[in-house]
Structure 1
Amino acid sequence: MAYTIKDVAKEAGVSVATVSRILNGLPGYSVKTKEKVMQVIGEMGYQPNAIARGLINKRTKTIGVLLPAVSDLFASLVLSGIEDQAHELDYSVMICNTDQDGVRTMKYLHALREKQVDGILFISEQLKKEYYDAVIAMQLPMVLVATTSPYNVPFIKADDEKAVYDGVTYMLEQGHRAIGLLAGTKGDPIATEPRMKGYERALKSYGLLVEQKRIVYGDFGFASGVTGAEALVKQDPSLTAIFCCSDEMAAGALSYLYSQNIAVPQQVSIMGYDDTKMAEMTIPPLTTISQPLYEMGKQSVTMLLQQEEQHWIIMPHSITVRQTVSART
């Protein structure tokens, strides 16, 4: 049987208003009354309705999260941080898988408005004007995670250009000069273009030309890593190293090279980006750029709920050295 707030009030011998004040942390009752009401709630197993409470305190203790792919390892780490921090603060999370589909994204935004969420986290996708306008109309706080926008919206992310610059520089320091790039989606201003700039800047700092035959675009996924590595090797057999713009692409590249009996790192070195669990599971274990995805998720919740003056946070990155990059002599 599902009990109501009226049932709790009747059993405890108090008014509905008193029960409501206790549930919402408002004053106006004795310690003894609170203890009695909480005892009745426990005995009945009463679960207060978040939306009903929100009508009183204007908060539903719910956060909406929109992201393009729930299943990939990048998303799982960010979501893990979000859900852990939300749970710690007694918030619930509504996860919306947009699949980078504009129509679906707009439908989710309307659904989040109807659910009266307290704020929105927008992850790893371009914030289009129609999305921005919809959130502004909802008058809700929003934080961007692993992405930025031309709008005045708080964000938290790593410095993609600097991270790739540091990664490619590490390969250059190991003696590599013929370095290919498995880039992300062509034209993507959020992740692909900054990482491309980092790659180009690192080569130029060593006086090397940026050669288009050493650049192949993909979609950050495993399959595009396989096909991308194949294309790079065929376009330039002299390559001694490949920087991949995601760990999944790097795993795909490793798979292709293994199928062709090309030894890693003895013949070709491979480096990834993100430092997801996949980087630990590849054979050999993947050297990669590490960005603190779990912490990024946790801090995004704090940013959203506290709405502090700090408008953006650039998270630190580092190089996790494993076994896929060797020195070139």
Structure 2
Amino acid sequence: MPTLKDIAKLAHVDISTVSRALNDSPYVHPNTKKRILEAANELKYHSNSTKEVFTTGKVHAVGIIIPNAKLNIFMDFIQQAELQADAVNYDVIVCLSNDDGEKEKRLLQKMRAGLVDGIIIASTGDNNSLLEDINSSGTPIVQIFREVDQNLDSISIDYSKSVETAFNVLIEKDCKQIGLVNGPICDISYKNKSEAYQRLATNYDLPIIVQNTKDYPKSFVNAGYNLAKKLLKASPNIDAILTANDPEALGVTKYLNDQNIPIPEKIKVISLAGSTLSDLLPIKVSATVFPIDEVSLHALSLIISKVEKLDRDSPLKHLKVNVEYISRMTC
């Protein structure tokens, strides 16, 4: 079986140039790229894929950059996206940024070098200029869950509606002190949740009881546990807690159980980002559930239509999908 070294020798270039050319990097001169692809075809090195890149300029792969896949909505998203991409003969390449702007930058630079045809990203917000540059250079970008750049397409959740839906459920159950255990407000999704919560609490003339993480925690479960402790210390008469996501809900319910506080009789709990984890928890948490299949279908359809240049002249899309409230054991 021929190797990159064999192709480099035949094309009279170094191995790194061969690698970039086979990944359709824009940083390889067209004549050099042609010579390398012809050498690869001559040696029958992955002849189908190299021929496809040579003739179409596409690798039929979509890159997905998400913060993590720790039993959350991002995990659910990549599972759905992989199935939907496979149905239209596209592959999915998943990378985790860990919400680190520098790591995200490295991943984007590698993907733009020809590894994928388009990129779906839940961005940190630290690399907007790079994202716009990649998008304008011909590799389309679609944001998911976090609409951090108005100049790029996005498929997100109506977070305000999510909070409003859960808040109204608690109001109907005559809750008077509703707290929020949230993530870092530097993240647009958590900021939106915090703003919606404070607006609703003010409208209902209820106290504002919020605990945010300072940054992205290593464990949202531990963060939920510790923030619930702070919440109860500051407001011991609290009768309901909204959590920004399912892992935080797990931490909150664990703390309440450790304190022998009955759920939902004494304190009700609702997650504002229900995922498949909701069905796996020891205490099944009531939640506003994200329609992940709808989000992934919209995101995949949009990115592939841009890759295939089916909607070249269409305006920017900023789609927000609604959630559904599901009552379980905690409310």
Distance verdict in 2 for CA 1:288–1:192, change over 3 Å: same
My pick for the range that moved more, 296-305 or 199-208, is 199-208
The answer for the alignment partner of 1:273 in structure 2 is 272
Q: Give the drift of 1:319.
A: 0.6
Deviations 1:120-162 (A, max 9, x none): 1012542633432441464211111111133321111111112
Deviations 1:29-60 (A, max 9, x none): xxxxxxxxxxxxxxxxx964434411211211
Q: Give the drift of 1:170.
A: 1.1
Do 2:100 and 2:124's aligned partners in 1 also have CA atoms closer than 8 Å?
no
1:201 and 2:199 are equivalent in the alignment: yes
User: TM-score, structure 2 length as denominator?
Assistant: 0.78
The answer for the alignment partner of 1:96 in structure 2 is 95
My pick for the range that moved more, 201-210 or 123-132, is 123-132
Query: Matched residues in 2 for 1:264 and 1:48: separation?
Result: 61
The answer for the alignment partner of 1:241 in structure 2 is 240
What secondary structure is seen at the aligned counterpart in 2 of 1:187?
coil
Q: Describe how 1:223-242 pairs up with structure 2 within 5 A.
A: 223-242=222-241
1:320 and 2:331 are equivalent in the alignment: no
Q: Describe how 1:159-308 pairs up with structure 2 within 5 A.
A: 159-188=158-187, 190-210=188-208, 214-218=209-213, 219=216, 221-307=220-306, 308=311
Counterpart of 2:297 in structure 1: which amino acid? K
Query: Matched residues in 1 for 2:101 and 2:186: separation?
Result: 17
Count, aligned residues: 280
Q: Give the drift of 1:174.
A: 0.7
* Gap regions ≥5 residues in structure 2: 3-44
My pick for the range that moved more, 288-297 or 115-124, is 115-124
Counterpart of 2:286 in structure 1: which amino acid? T
Deviations 1:179-205 (A, max 9, x none): 1110111332x1111101221222223
The answer for the alignment partner of 1:20 in structure 2 is none
Q: Give the drift of 1:297.
A: 1.5
Do 2:105 and 2:127's aligned partners in 1 also have CA atoms closer than 8 Å?
no
Counterpart of 1:185 in structure 2: which amino acid? P
What secondary structure is seen at the aligned counterpart in 2 of 1:191?
helix
Do 2:155 and 2:320's aligned partners in 1 also have CA atoms closer than 8 Å?
yes
Q: Give the drift of 1:229.
A: 0.5
Q: Give the drift of 1:118.
A: 1.0
My pick for the range that moved more, 315-324 or 289-298, is 289-298
Distance verdict in 2 for CA 1:130–1:51, change over 3 Å: farther
The answer for the alignment partner of 1:144 in structure 2 is 143
Do 2:123 and 2:148's aligned partners in 1 also have CA atoms closer than 8 Å?
no
Q: Give the drift of 1:169.
A: 1.6
Q: Give the drift of 1:116.
A: 4.3
Distance verdict in 2 for CA 1:72–1:282, change over 3 Å: closer
Distance verdict in 2 for CA 1:49–1:107, change over 3 Å: farther
Counterpart of 2:204 in structure 1: which amino acid? Y
* Gap regions ≥5 residues in structure 1: 3-45
What secondary structure is seen at the aligned counterpart in 2 of 1:157?
strand
What secondary structure is seen at the aligned counterpart in 2 of 1:114?
helix
Query: Matched residues in 1 for 2:290 and 2:323: separation?
Result: 5
Query: Matched residues in 2 for 1:124 and 1:244: separation?
Result: 21
The answer for the alignment partner of 2:56 in structure 1 is 57
What secondary structure is seen at the aligned counterpart in 1 of 2:92?
strand
Q: Give the drift of 1:68.
A: 1.2
Query: Matched residues in 1 for 2:118 and 2:61: separation?
Result: 8
Query: Matched residues in 1 for 2:304 and 2:168: separation?
Result: 38
Q: CA RMSD in A?
A: 2.2
Q: Give the drift of 1:83.
A: 0.7
Distance verdict in 2 for CA 1:320–1:251, change over 3 Å: same
Q: Give the drift of 1:224.
A: 0.4
Counterpart of 1:315 in structure 2: which amino acid? V
Deviations 1:11-35 (A, max 9, x none): xxxxxxxxxxxxxxxxxxxxxxxxx
Do 2:275 and 2:290's aligned partners in 1 also have CA atoms closer than 8 Å?
no
Counterpart of 2:294 in structure 1: which amino acid? E
User: TM-score, structure 1 length as denominator?
Assistant: 0.79
Query: Matched residues in 2 for 1:202 and 1:67: separation?
Result: 30
Do 1:240 and 1:268's aligned partners in 2 also have CA atoms closer than 8 Å?
yes
